[in-house]
Amino acid sequence: MWVVKKNDRAVGPTAAANPRQSVVLDDVDRILLDELARDGRMTNNALAAAAGIAPSTCLGRVRSLVERGVIRGFHADIDPAALGRSLQAMISVRVHANARPQLAAFGEQLATLDEVLNVYFIAGADDYLIHVATADTEELRLFVLEHLSAHPAVARTETILIFEHVRPRTRPLR
């Protein structure tokens, strides 16, 4: 099994200001990535066999992919409904023009809230798109009122309820 490290969340304009450069990947790297994308719990020995390399080589390759930022982490995909948060929504947020210097801090603050699953710093009319999960509409309403509408940096929000999330099938990365 792979050791799981909790990821730091990089959000906001500071992350966007430093775009990652493309990383050179060979065929073996791509096989490793394909296999791990399908099953992040795959053992090192099984992963090595799938790539046709020795387990020690495989371990070094995976560590290199992590160190180079290609693999951002290993995690469990947990259904929010199983945790009592069956209502999901995407909330677009526009901040006031005078709050633009605090965009990074605002994004980091959002990422710490329990209801928040993902924070996206976006281009367009709005500044952020926030994916949240709550127990019900009342909890969602309170989240918007207490954490967004009441925030002095927020100019406007728009909430879009998610009825269903259809996941794309895993595609080869090659």
Structure tokens given for 72: 């951002």
User: In the block, which residue shows the tokens 């959002």?
Assistant: 110
Q: Scanning the structure block, which residue is given the tokens 């070094």?
A: 60
List the pLDDT tens digit at each of the 174 positions of the chain.
333 233 343 434 444 444 567 889 999 999 999 999 989 999 999 999 999 999 999 999 999 999 999 999 988 889 999 999 999 999 999 999 999 888 889 999 999 999 999 999 999 999 999 999 999 999 999 999 999 999 999 999 999 999 998 888 766 666
Q: Are 30 and 173 in contact (CB under 8 A)?
A: yes
> Model's pTM, two decimal places?
0.77
* Burial label, 132 (beta-carbon count in 10 A; 0-12, 13-18, 19+): buried
